[in-house]
Amino acid sequence: MKIYLAPMDGVVDSIMREALTNVGGFDYCVTEFLRVTGQVCPEHMFFRYCPELEQEAQTKSKTPVHFQLLGGNPELLAQNAAIAVKLGAPSIDLNFGCPAKTVNKHDGGAFLLQFPDRIFNIIKAVRQAVAQPTPVSAKIRLGYEDKNLVIENSQAVEEAGASWLVVHARTKVEGYKPPAHWEWIARIKEKLSLPVIANGDIWTLDDYLECSRITQCEDVMLGRGAISCPDLALQIKKHKAGEEYLPYTWKEVQPLVKQMFHQCWAFGNARYPVTRTKQWSKFLSRNYPEALELFENIKRHRDPEPIAQIIENSVSKKHIP
């Protein structure tokens, strides 16, 4: 089985990829999408979205990082895919699942799920531009407004030559509202011969087991579940191996938050560590009540200095004023 770390835009950047893959359990991760609009992107943009290209396209834990592109123009996507591979990307992933309004208004993401022929043409163009054996994969949702085209879209992905398909088990309109419709992934899997990876609402080990039972997919992609439970992938891997494992406590998560904060601060942008730490502490509060306490203590601050002290006090178990 393989576990993939989802490319969550504005959440899973290189710093988060490093933190989560250092914990363990992931077989590969995917960059945030590079949006391709009216031109071929300059090389520095590829390094901005995937700094790991400087280190053989791997995180420090040696987890491969695959490059994701988003857009609606087959020729431009193909040209940009070729550049990414030339720069060292081990795989190209194509995003047909992003539900963001700004993306969908500009001919990208889940908007394309209304046009199976366009999905086919995009994947086909990228596949032709990227030499074998470099994989080309795709991520879709169950549809745009409804699920009427999901099988046709999935078959278009396969017929165009994709190496595997990731399916988020909701439509664009459903967004992230529960439940995820795992039974639809099972229907897709029955129609295809290429590997299918399940995604959506896998928050716990029990969720993984139920998702796997319903979809018949051992391979999964973790997004929000991994952000809120940093060792979720490791829990799943240990369970599958029949090994005993004690899930992370808040004491083990705290150093991850501290490291992430200081790595973000090192970029020189004072807003970056502030917003990212607030964001992650909110995600973590789903599993760790102490993370909600951390969020409540930092939410009023806009500068990194007081947040750094609060985090330090929290890690050293000092009183938080």
The set of catalytic residues is: 98
Please name the residues in contact with 6: beta carbons below 8 A apart, sequence gap of 6 or more. 12, 30, 199, 221, 222, 223, 226
What span, in angstroms and rounded, lies between the C-alpha atoms of 10 and 75?
Answer: 27
What span, in angstroms and rounded, lies between the C-alpha atoms of 75 and 117?
Answer: 15
Percentages helix, strand, coil for the chain (3-state, rounded to 5) are 50, 15, 40
Question: Which element (helix H / strand E) includes 171?
Answer: strand 165-171
What span, in angstroms and rounded, lies between the C-alpha atoms of 235 and 238?
Answer: 5
In the three-class reduction of DSSP (H, G, I as helix; E, B as strand; rest coil), residue 169 is classed as strand
Q: How many helices (H) and strands (E) does the chain have?
A: 14, 9
Which among 320, 313, 318, 311 is positioned nearest to 256, based on CA atoms?
Answer: 311
CB 50 within 8 A of CB 14: yes
What span, in angstroms and rounded, lies between the C-alpha atoms of 258 and 32?
Answer: 23
What span, in angstroms and rounded, lies between the C-alpha atoms of 195 and 28?
Answer: 15
What span, in angstroms and rounded, lies between the C-alpha atoms of 282 and 193?
Answer: 39
Locate tokens 């899997």: which residue?
Answer: 189
Question: Which element (helix H / strand E) includes 41?
Answer: none
Q: 138 forms bridges with which residues in the sheet?
A: 94, 165
CB 257 within 8 A of CB 280: yes
Locate tokens 């609009």: which residue?
Answer: 37
